[in-house]
Every structure is written in C-alpha cells, then in structure tokens.
Amino acid sequence: KNEVEQSPQNLTAQEGEFITINCSYSVGISALHWLQQHPGGGIVSLFMLSSGKKKHGRLIATINIQEKHSSLHITASHPRDSAVYICAVMYSGGGADGLTFGKGTHLIIQP
C-alpha cells in the first residue's frame, strides 16, 4: 500500500517560532499537496508542487523528489496558524485517481 507519513503528529510552539512539518511518501508521484484545516472548518489548499520550492507569505513548501520528502515551513508563526496541516500526494499515473493523504499534523501556536 502506498503510504504518506507525516511528522510530527502534534506540535505546540510559541508565537514567533519557526515551524517545520515533514512529509514522506513511498513511490513516485505527479504532485504533492499541502492542505490546511481549521477546527470544524473546511480544507484549503496551500500549495501544490512537483519539484523545488514555493513560497506564499510566511509559508514555504519544499520537495525533494529523489528522497521522496517534502517540508512545510512557517516563519514567524502566529496563533492564527493553529490548524491541522495535511500532506497529500497524487501518485504517478493520472489526475483521476484521487489523493492519498497523511494523517495530519495538529499545530498549536500559543501567544
């Protein structure tokens, strides 16, 4: 079975800290997604990437295809960043097959 592993499962940090969430997967992919879900809320796509690095505001996502690993970084973290961050992959073979998800990282940023 193709697995997507995230670490850590839970993370509590102080406001202003630099945050890193990791994601690893087992086989070749066509794209990797980072998603955000606030408590009781919907799912928002933060990034989709297949190589290199993307940046949006205080969020940075990187991917290393050879090592089958991606990281999501949050700089100058803020309590409003508290959410579940989910890594998901689209395995190579086409866009119709849906995403395979990690179990998420619960992030709490304390003021």
The site for another protein (CB under 8 A) is made up of 30-31, 33, 35, 42-45, 48, 86, 88, 90, 95-104
CB of 70 to another protein, least distance (A): 15
- Closer to another protein by Cβ: residue 39 or 111: 39
Q: Which value, to the nearest 10 degrees, does the dihedral of the CA atoms of residues 98, 85, 57, 17 take?
A: -160
Residue in 17, 8, 9 with CA at minimum distance from that of residue 111:
17
CB of 91 to another protein, least distance (A): 11
- Closer to another protein by Cβ: residue 31 or 60: 31
For residue 22, CA distances in Å to 7, 30, 31, 72, 95 come to: 5, 18, 16, 6, 24
CB of 78 to another protein, least distance (A): 23
